[in-house]
Chain A
Amino acid sequence: GAGVSQSPRYKVAKRGQDVALRCDPISGHVSLFWYQQALGQGPEFLTYFQNEAQLDKSGLPSDRFFAERPEGSVSTLKIQRTQQEDSAVYLCASSLTGKAPTEAFFGQGTRLTVV
């Protein structure tokens, strides 16, 4: 595709519900990142994939957060038993190679609201 695509754009979940957020990176991009952005703050790193390997998950806030990229392309961020503090915009980014310097391309994000 022309850019990084995320779906859904908006998600409202009841507290305790599980959600799954999808990211379609630019075709051929090796690196994929997930970020969380709270209102009025800059994006914060959650996790990183190089192809299908999850090389860094140090930013995941709890074990309720899980990400996967089984075939090295599409990625899913899953949040189990959502809490109100999970309300944020979740951004996905991809870049061409695992080497740098290189620019990251971001999707428009999924705005999650937990009620």
Chain B
Amino acid sequence: DAKTTQPPSMDCAEGRAANLPCNHSTISGNEYVYWYRQIHSQGPQYIIHGLKNNETNEMASLIITEDRKSSTLILPHATLRDTAVYYCIVRANYGGATNKLIFGTGTLLAVQP
């Protein structure tokens, strides 16, 4: 699976939008971009995924550049409960064992009151 690059940490003011960048310059055409987050002392939690088009759900929006070499996760109105480590993962979808997720070190987002 392709390697991703994320900043180690970011701060965001409560109530403001949090924009978390991810570079995945070696992504292949059949690889999806996934985002998970991990709140302290909990297991990772799925947020969103996409292939080419921008995606939005109740938690966040995912913006993927046209060349697919980078993406941004947007939390529109960050709250203190959004403080967590955010992982950007690219993964092919052939099914079976290739469903495994390869985590990097992620971005620690600290939402400030």
B44 is an interface residue with CB less than 8 A from chain A: yes
Chain A interface residue bracket vs B: 20 to 34
B15 is an interface residue with CB less than 8 A from chain A: no
B103 touches A44 (CB 8 A): yes
A103 touches B49 (CB 8 A): yes
B41 touches A31 (CB 8 A): no
A41 is an interface residue with CB less than 8 A from chain B: yes
- Chain B 77-113, CB-CB to A under 8 Å as 1, else 0, gives 0000000010100010111111111111110000000
Residue total for B at the interface (Cβ-Cβ under 8 A): 26
Q: A4-B43, A42-B106, A43-B44 are in contact. Are A104 and B101 (CB under 8 A)?
A: yes
- Chain A 6-38, CB-CB to B under 8 Å as 1, else 0, gives 000000000000000000000000010101000
A105 touches B46 (CB 8 A): yes
Closest Cβ of chain A: how far from B1's Cβ, in Å? 10
B residues near A, CB below 8 A?
Answer: 32, 34, 41-46, 49, 85, 87, 91, 93-106
**CB < 8 Å neighbour of B104 from A42, A48, A100, A103:** A42
**CB < 8 Å neighbour of B103 from A31, A42, A102:** A42
Q: A42-B103, A44-B103 are in contact. Are A107 and B97 (CB under 8 A)?
A: no
A31 to B101, CA, bound (A): 13
A1 is an interface residue with CB less than 8 A from chain B: no
B46 touches A104 (CB 8 A): yes
Contacts of B103 in A (CB 8 A): 35, 42-44
B99 touches A102 (CB 8 A): yes
Contacts of A48 in B (CB 8 A): 96-97, 99-100
